[in-house]
Structure 1
Amino acid sequence: MLPLLLWTAVFVAGLAVLVKASDSFTQSAERIGISFGISPFIIGVTIVAAGTSTPELVSSVLAVMKGSSEMVVGNVMGSNVTNVFLILGLSAIVGKKMVTGYELANVDLPLFVGSALLVSVMVWDGIYSIPEALLSLALLLVYLIYALRAERVAEEVRARFLEEEGIAQPKRRKLSPKVYMKLVMSAFFLYLGANYTVVSVVKLSEMVGIGTEIIAASAVALGTSLPELVVSVRAAAMNKPELAIGNVLGSNIFNSLGIMGISALFGTLVIPAAITGFVMPMMIVATLLYFVIIWEKEITLWEGWMLVIFYVFFLGKLFALF
């Protein structure tokens, strides 16, 4: 009993350090992005999305290096389910009704759905190879290039409008070196927290007889998704729907393509049957629901409650409570 409590405490502590370091990392990265004049949505789908996905990335890479690669796909797909069902759902509940003016239907939504379907097809046969990882990373690169190019066009349009109206463009404030130091220190504690999180999950799964992929798809996925939860819910409360919606979209794309792809470069990924049998179909359902809901550029309070109920069902089924 004592070893179980001890490793549970290590898991909670490691996860807390991981989440706190990720929050600090994301804040620093966001400040750097704002100082360069990047728009809120692009910050959401690039800087904040990648920053809030650092817990999944660091813990996944370490899991592969420690011989527990089954955690990777569980963490990735569990996080994607959590992002849509729980985080987007709670954001909609807090924001009452979130409406975005950003055009998602042309490229963002198809890439969002495509990334989930691509990784699902790739792991369907129980093997995720290096060539598949490279293809995933290539698609992620395509999306990032598109997002940055779209931002550049929008920036040119804004500059032209301000010039025509005779309005001086706001000056970009220079950042203190402390911001960059904070970024580096946060990265160190990300590694530290991820290391103890992975070790404790392996130990706990051995003690309680639950597969590491199940713990990864539930407890680890929820814990590493806390940065996305904080960012999105806070954005919804502050009436910044683009940031909340963009953060979920960007995080899921980065999880499916970036984390799976990068992790596979460090070793072979094991794809457990529990993932392909239940977690993967739930991720596809979550992706399609996001597509249908966001197609109209808004998400209501009632749709938020529906998503949260889906998340409760997901956890209940995962632990055979239903």
Structure 2
Amino acid sequence: MLSLLLWALVFVGSLALLVKASDVFTDSAERIGVGFGISPFIIGVTIVAVGTSTPELVSSVLAVMKGSPEIVAGNVMGSNVTNIFLILGISAIVGKKMVTSYQLANVDLPLFVGSAFLVSLMVMDGAFSVAEALLCLACLLVYLVYAVRAERVADRVKERFLEEEGIVITEKRRPDLKIYAKLSISLFFLYIGANYTVVSVVRLSEMVGIGTEIIAASAVALGTSLPELVVSVRAAAMNKPELAVGNILGSNIFNALGIMGISALFGTLVISETITGFVMPMMIVATLLYFVVIWEKEITQWEGWMLVIFYVFFLGKLFALF
């Protein structure tokens, strides 16, 4: 009993360190992005999304290297379910009615849905190979290139309009060296936190007799999704729906294509029946619900409550509570 309590404390402490280091990393990366004049949506879909997915990435890579590849799929798919059901739901409740202006329907939403279906099809055989990983990373690269190019076109149009109106464009202030130092230090603590998170998950699963993939899809997924929760809820409260929606969309795309892809480069990922039989279908349902509620470019409080109820159902079924 004492040993179980000790490892539970290690899990909570290492996860807290992982999340805090990720928060510092994301904040530093966001400041760098703002300093270079990147728009809120692109910051959300690239810098913040990748930054807030850092806990999932580091813990997943270390899980493969430590011989627990089954954690990866549970962490990734569980995080995607958590992002949509819990985080988007709470964001909609806090924001009351989030109305977005960015045109998602052209490329972002189809790739968002496509990434979930692509990964689901790849893991149906119970494994995720290097060839499949490279294909996912290629898809992610295409999306990032598109996002950056689309932003550059929008910037040129905006600058041309301002020049025609005679509005002086102020010079962007570049971030100082302290920001880059914080970024580097946070990476070190990310590694420490992720390392002990993986070790404690394996030990706890052995002690309580619960599969590591179940703990990964619930506790680890929730813990590593806390950066997304903080960023999206804060953005919703500040009436910045594009940042909240873009963060979740970009994070899920990066989870499905980037984290699965990068992790598989360190070894073949093993996908358990719990993942293929329940967590994966729930991720597909969550993805389709996101598509439906975002299509009209607004999310109401009632839709937010509905998403949170779905998350409660997800946890209940995962632990066979009903």
TM-score by length of 1: 1.00
In the alignment, the residues of structure 1 paired with residue 160 and residue 293 of structure 2 have an alpha-carbon distance, to the nearest angstrom, of 34
> Could you say what secondary structure the match of 1:78 adopts?
helix
Deviations 1:6-60 (A, max 9, x none): 0000000000000000000000000000000000000000000000000000000
Deviations 1:95-131 (A, max 9, x none): 0000010000000000000000000000001121110
Partner of 1:246: 246
> Could you say what secondary structure the match of 1:43 adopts?
helix
Partner of 2:179: 179
Partner of 1:63: 63
Q: CA deviation at 1:153?
A: 0.5
Deviations 1:154-206 (A, max 9, x none): 10011011101100112211211000000000000000000000000000000
In the alignment, the residues of structure 2 paired with residue 170 and residue 206 of structure 1 have an alpha-carbon distance, to the nearest angstrom, of 58
Q: CA deviation at 1:235?
A: 0.2
In the alignment, the residues of structure 1 paired with residue 118 and residue 147 of structure 2 have an alpha-carbon distance, to the nearest angstrom, of 20
Partner of 1:303: 303
> Could you say what secondary structure the match of 1:104 adopts?
coil
In the alignment, the residues of structure 2 paired with residue 245 and residue 126 of structure 1 have an alpha-carbon distance, to the nearest angstrom, of 31
In structure 2, give the amino acid aligned to 1:247. Answer: N
> Could you say what secondary structure the match of 1:3 adopts?
helix
Partner of 1:133: 133
In the alignment, the residues of structure 1 paired with residue 296 and residue 9 of structure 2 have an alpha-carbon distance, to the nearest angstrom, of 44
In the alignment, the residues of structure 2 paired with residue 87 and residue 170 of structure 1 have an alpha-carbon distance, to the nearest angstrom, of 36
In the alignment, the residues of structure 1 paired with residue 192 and residue 127 of structure 2 have an alpha-carbon distance, to the nearest angstrom, of 29
In structure 1, give the amino acid aligned to 2:121. Answer: V
In the alignment, the residues of structure 2 paired with residue 176 and residue 138 of structure 1 have an alpha-carbon distance, to the nearest angstrom, of 33
Partner of 2:261: 261
In the alignment, the residues of structure 2 paired with residue 171 and residue 82 of structure 1 have an alpha-carbon distance, to the nearest angstrom, of 39
Which structure 2 segments of 5+ residues have no match? none
Which structure 1 segments of 5+ residues have no match? none
- 2:106 is equivalent to residue 111 of structure 1: no
Deviations 1:62-95 (A, max 9, x none): 0000000000000000000000000000000000
In the alignment, the residues of structure 2 paired with residue 60 and residue 274 of structure 1 have an alpha-carbon distance, to the nearest angstrom, of 18
In structure 1, give the amino acid aligned to 2:191. Answer: Y
Taking the TM superposition and a 5 Å limit, the aligned residue runs for 1:288-299 are 288-299=288-299
In the alignment, the residues of structure 1 paired with residue 157 and residue 258 of structure 2 have an alpha-carbon distance, to the nearest angstrom, of 31
Partner of 1:220: 220
Taking the TM superposition and a 5 Å limit, the aligned residue runs for 1:162-173 are 162-173=162-173
In the alignment, the residues of structure 1 paired with residue 87 and residue 174 of structure 2 have an alpha-carbon distance, to the nearest angstrom, of 33
In structure 2, give the amino acid aligned to 1:232. Answer: S
> Could you say what secondary structure the match of 2:98 adopts?
strand
> Could you say what secondary structure the match of 1:175 adopts?
coil
> Could you say what secondary structure the match of 1:168 adopts?
coil
* Kept in 1: contact 2:120–2:280 (CA 8 A): yes
Partner of 2:43: 43
Aligned length: 322
* Kept in 1: contact 2:53–2:255 (CA 8 A): yes
TM-score by length of 2: 1.00
In structure 2, give the amino acid aligned to 1:40. Answer: P
User: Percent of aligned positions with the same letter in both sequences?
Assistant: 82
* Kept in 1: contact 2:36–2:174 (CA 8 A): no
> Could you say what secondary structure the match of 1:173 adopts?
coil
In the alignment, the residues of structure 1 paired with residue 316 and residue 174 of structure 2 have an alpha-carbon distance, to the nearest angstrom, of 49
